Amino acid sequence: MTAKPASGASAGGRAGMKKELPERFKAYKHVWVFVELERGVVHPVSWELLGEGRKLADKLGVQLAAAVLGGPGEATKHAVSEAFAYGADVVYAAASPVLEAYRNESYTRCMTELVNTYKPEILLLGATTLGRDLAGSVATTLLTGLTADSTGLEVDADGSLAATRPTFGGSLLCTIYTLNFRPQMATVRPRVFSLPERQEGRSGPVIEHNFSMLEDDIVTKILQFIPDRDSNKTNLAYADVVVAGGLGLGGAENYQLVKDLANALGAEWGGSRPLVQRGWIPADRQIGQTGKTIRPKLYIAAGISGAIQHRVGVEGADLILAINTDKNAPIFDFAHVGIVTDAVRLLPALAKAFRQRISPSTRTRMAV
């Protein structure tokens, strides 16, 4: 009950607990991914999870299934066929007017029905606002374990799901099991896993679930949906190039240097958690375990020390360039290229160098 993280206990507390799966759970089989369909669009995290779910299912020798919930229209049908293209062997589909837009009541009821009827051993959901709202309700209804924001999923020798996530404010990692309850549930943040290759022409059986809930059964009503203005929307998680700053920049006024370099590269900008806490950058620009997970081709970290909670958010990058005055900073343990210098001096020089090399205007001039 002390300052312990997540769904976990103190390190040694439960280590001795044995796997003794009750009889009623022995029929639970197959790996499921909840497909997050909202306003006609599937969140890419669902396909990322199908990619990772494929590996788990193959290891267990079971099927990979997608659960697609949505309205009665074309979008749901399209999501079903896309689920096959991204690796599902079978799709459980529920189409109903009460599933058109996400609401906790209808989605929790429907997912609970599906799980109780078809009994998956593993259920994965995206750790989005929708997925986290739903996962907590479903796990509580089913009285099973749920690991939030997993950064690694493995299957153990005995077939148990081992979900790894940062703990203690992101200073260590822990591996969490749900040994004696089913399904074993986990959420994973967008971009933790890469998008699997889309395979055209794959298909399989669709099991339609007749969901009988009516609008009158639902207390919560959606009065309005106000889409984010595009100008405010950050595409951090899916950007090819990201430049980020940390406390090593020395002061809020120096953050502009990060934006300038991002601008020169046509990149997205972000920062570490302390910058958000100090109000230098908005919360949706935070990179790391409690912010955005990114997988860019190039990630430039300026003045970021590289705590674990930051590391797990950027490790998927193809190339990490770190700039830090402290040669012992942990970021140099996982960056590919390091420069031990003051980012405040180097950032403007980098912006200038990239502008000269890749800016279209320079190119045109050179071509003339």
63 binds another protein (CB under 8 A): no
Beta carbons of 270 and 290 less than 8 angstroms apart: no
List the 31-35 sheet strands across, edge first: 146-150, 184-188, 122-126, 31-35, 64-70, 90-95, 206-208
Q: Supply φ then ψ for residue 274, to 5 degrees.
A: -60, -30
Among 192, 241, 249, 275, binds another protein (CB under 8 A): 241
Least distance to another protein from the beta carbon of 90, Å? Answer: 26
- Of 12-20, 117-125, 198-206, 209-217, the window that binds another protein (rule: CB under 8 A) is 12-20
Binding characters for another protein, 112-131, by CB under 8 A (x = yes)? ----------------xxx-
- Go through 35-72 and write b for each residue having 16 or more CB atoms within 10 A of its CB, e for each that does not: bbbeeeebbbbbbbbbbbbbbbbeebebbbbbbbbbbe
Helix (H) or strand (E) holding 298: strand 298-302
Q: Which of residues 259-278 bind another protein (CB under 8 A)?
A: 265-266, 274
337 binds another protein (CB under 8 A): yes
Least distance to another protein from the beta carbon of 330, Å? Answer: 8
7 binds another protein (CB under 8 A): yes
Q: Three-state SS string across 312-330, please? A: HHHCCCCEEEEECCCCCCC
Paired with 152 in beta bridges are 164
Q: Which of residues 129-148 bind another protein (CB under 8 A)?
A: 129-130, 132-133, 135-137, 139-141, 143-148
Sequence-separated (6 or more) residues with CB below 8 Å from residue 54: 64, 87, 196
Among 25, 118, 238, 354, binds another protein (CB under 8 A): 354
- Closer to another protein by Cβ: residue 159 or 204: 159
Record the tokens describing residue 185, joined without a space. Answer: 């549930």
Least distance to another protein from the beta carbon of 83, Å? Answer: 18
Among 95, 110, 111, 176, binds another protein (CB under 8 A): 176
Name the residue type at position 264: A
- Of 65-73, 80-88, 248-256, 350-358, the window that binds another protein (rule: CB under 8 A) is 350-358
Least distance to another protein from the beta carbon of 128, Å? Answer: 5
108 binds another protein (CB under 8 A): yes
256 binds another protein (CB under 8 A): no
Record the tokens describing residue 257, joined without a space. Answer: 């240097």
Least distance to another protein from the beta carbon of 160, Å? Answer: 9
